[in-house]
Each structure stands twice: as C-alpha cells, then as structure tokens.
Amino acid sequence: MSIGRLYYVMGPSGAGKDSVLSWVREHGISHGVLCAHRYITRPAHAGGENHVALSEAEFQLRAERGLFVLTWQAHGLHYGIGREVEQWMARGADVLVNGSRGIYEQACERFPDMQPVLITASQECMAKRLAARGRESEADIAARLVRSDAYQVPPNALVIRNDGSLAEAGATLLDAIRQRH
C-alpha cells in the first residue's frame, strides 16, 4: 500500500477555499480523497466551514496532549489540524487540509512531501464574497485584499482560480490529485 499525500490548501479570505473543499468532500470520496476538519475555537453555528468547534480550554488541553499536527492563531481564534491525518495518510489516503498561509513554512517542515494548493480569485470576486458574509467592515475587507496581493505563492503550488463555477474549481483540484496516481 502506498503512502497518501497531504494537500495543503490555502488562500486569501473570500477566495472560496471552504466552498471548494466542501465540493471536494462531497465528490472526492470515490477517488480516495479525505478532507480533514479543522478544530477551531469558533461556535459551530457561526457559519463558514464545516469544523469541529472547541472552547479555548478544550483546544489548549488537546494541544498540550499533542493531538494536533499543526496549530495557529488568526482573527482572535485558535485553529488546529488533528493528528489523525497522519494515520489516514499512512493507510494510503490523500488528505486535504485547510491550512494557513501564515504557517506554510511550519507545514513544510512537518510534511516535506506535501503539495501546496493555492485557491484564489479576482479582487472583485473576493470583495463581493467578503461583503456578502457580513462579518467584516469595508476597511477590514480592503485590508484582507491588500494582504492577498502581498502573498508570495510557493513555486511548486497548484494554483486554482475560483472565479467561475464551484464544480470547475473542485474538479480541477480532484484532477490534479488523480494525476498523481
């Protein structure tokens, strides 16, 4: 049995990472692709991605016990990727994780054979999506867009533009994973 590969999905807010991963979660299982849930100190009903909601105390306890392979903080929240992804890969599953651009180097150290995936979209498209979420002010949205422009894309990243249909972006990601086999 071959070892699975980690696909480290990242991208700016509003690019549609959660939507693409949700599409892959629904359509990728027949290809042996698993999407890991993130553990986040955000209530489950807060909208956005399908995640495991934890209190700050529970998150810290899990972190202290070594139950995460990666952790980071952003926007006042704690995020983690569970150690279970290592077991899935050891059993031959390709695993997608919704990572952070901010800890990309740490992820590379932890998973040297991972494939970075950058999901992006036009500034106009991201601005519309962020405004539709209703969680950020206009100034916050502008700051996020500036930050997305400043990001240096890793040279070996698979770049997926998510300006068109969700199925198109999701299928592009699944096709790239299929080509590996």
Query: Looking at residue 45, what is its pLDDT?
Result: 74
Query: Looking at residue 119, what is its pLDDT?
Result: 95
Q: How crowded is the C-beta side of 8, counted as CA atoms within 13 Å?
A: 25
Distance CA(156)–CA(174), nearest Å, equals 17
Q: Are 85 and 126 in contact (CB under 8 A)?
A: no
Distance CA(137)–CA(131), nearest Å, equals 8
Residue 37 falls in which region: left (phi positive, over 0), alpha (psi -120 to 50) or beta: beta
Q: What is the pLDDT along the chain (181 residues), one digit of tens a residue?
A: 688 999 999 998 889 998 999 899 888 776 678 999 999 998 777 666 678 899 999 999 999 999 999 999 988 999 999 999 999 999 999 999 999 999 999 999 999 999 999 999 998 998 898 888 877 888 888 888 888 877 788 889 999 999 999 999 999 999 988 887 6
Angle formed at CA 103 by CA 95 and CA 130, multiple of 5 degrees: 85
DSSP states of 2-34 as a string?
PPP-EEEEE--TTS-HHHHHHHHHHHSGGGTEE
Provide long-range contacts, Cβ within 8 A and 24+ apart, for 46-50. 47/133, 48/18, 48/133, 49/18, 49/21, 49/22, 49/98, 50/22, 50/25
Residue 64 CB partners (closer than 8 Å, separation 6+): none
Taking the domains of the chain in order of start, what are their residue ranges? Answer: 6-180
SS3 content of the chain, % helix, strand, coil (to 5): 45, 25, 30
Distance CA(98)–CA(34), nearest Å, equals 12
Query: Looking at residue 1, what is its pLDDT?
Result: 64
The reported pTM is 0.89
Q: Does domain 6-180 have CATH number 1.10.540.10?
A: no
> Which DSSP symbol is given to 36?
P
Distance CA(145)–CA(92), nearest Å, equals 37
